[in-house]
Amino acid sequence: MSDAALARSIADEAGALLRDIRARATCSDRELGQRGDREANLLIIDRLRAARPDDFILSEESLDDRARCAARRVWIIDPLDGTREYSERMDDWAVHIGLAIDGVPATGAVALPACGRTFATDDTAPLPALPSGRPRMVVSRTRVPEIATLVAEAIGADLVPMGSAGAKAMAVVAGDAEIYLHDGGQYEWDNCAPAAVAMAAGFHASRIDGSPLVYNCIDPLLPDLLICRPEWAAPVLAAIARLRPAQGPEQPQQS
């Protein structure tokens, strides 16, 4: 099985597990989120270790083995991206299965189980036609980065609140938005699989200063991200360069 097919298969299986857990749950929202994180993580780790025993794994829900830093191939996973949305019975949560090779997001799958969709690097659709009218920028439902508001005003974009990082990134890939701009703190597991899928489909993905996304770093903090249609990359990056406020210490925030 190819890496991409494996990523898709595991993402689908974890998504089905998470749907089943939520459908049968009688516990509190907090307990539901914790159970989903834990059980999906165990499933994904088991499947990857069985299929790719020589690869390393970096997961949001597991202790970090820093020996991964010397490895070429590292699976970077978020078993339940959008725990809040999942536990509150919303639809915009995701499963991320990404593979970084030599620090590059080479392969990935992002499942949106509540929506019945999985996006993967081995099954990309043609770039959707560029819509007319104002561009749509997906942002956090609860904490909109200041730079996103400023850039949206500068380029005439409409802000579209949404849940998990994976759901926002796949909204761009699916043609439901044109830009996903985040600043203020993410980790590698928040965006490795989404970035891999987006780039395989022909979209732009980078840091918000335009530099490449690099994975399998000693510190997995990866604080900002731009995923957008290629036509919007230059205007958005130019607006960021003009408008981005002076940066203080990076602090993780909801993705």
pLDDT in tens, 42-94: 999 999 999 999 999 999 999 999 999 999 999 999 999 999 999 999 999 99
pLDDT greater than 70 at residue 149: yes
Question: In percent, how much of the chain has pLDDT > 70?
Answer: 96
Please report the pLDDT score of residue 141 as a whole number: 87
Average of pLDDT values for 146-153?
A: 96
Average of pLDDT values for 236-246?
A: 88
Average of pLDDT values for 188-209?
A: 97
Q: Which two tokens stand for residue 21?
A: 């857990």
Please report the pLDDT score of residue 245 as a whole number: 60
Please report the pLDDT score of residue 26 as a whole number: 87
b/e burial code for range 118-156 (CB count within 10 A of at least 16 → b): bbbbbebeeeeeeeeeebbbbbbbeebbebbbbbbeebe
Average of pLDDT values for 106-134?
A: 93
Q: How far apart are alpha carbons 109 and 75 in whole angstroms?
A: 11
| 67 φ/ψ angles, rounded to the nearest 5 degrees | -65, -20
- For the entire predicted model, the pTM comes to 0.92
Neighbours of 183 (CB within 10 A): 22
Please report the pLDDT score of residue 251 as a whole number: 42
Please report the pLDDT score of residue 255 as a whole number: 42
Please report the pLDDT score of residue 143 as a whole number: 84
* Local confidence band at 193 (pLDDT 50, 70, 90 cut-offs): very high
Mean per-residue pLDDT of the chain: 94
**If we measure between CA atoms, which residue out of 192, 220, 186, 216 comes closest to residue 56?**
216
Average of pLDDT values for 17-34?
A: 93
* Local confidence band at 249 (pLDDT 50, 70, 90 cut-offs): very low
**If we measure between CA atoms, which residue out of 177, 176, 240 comes closest to residue 206?**
240
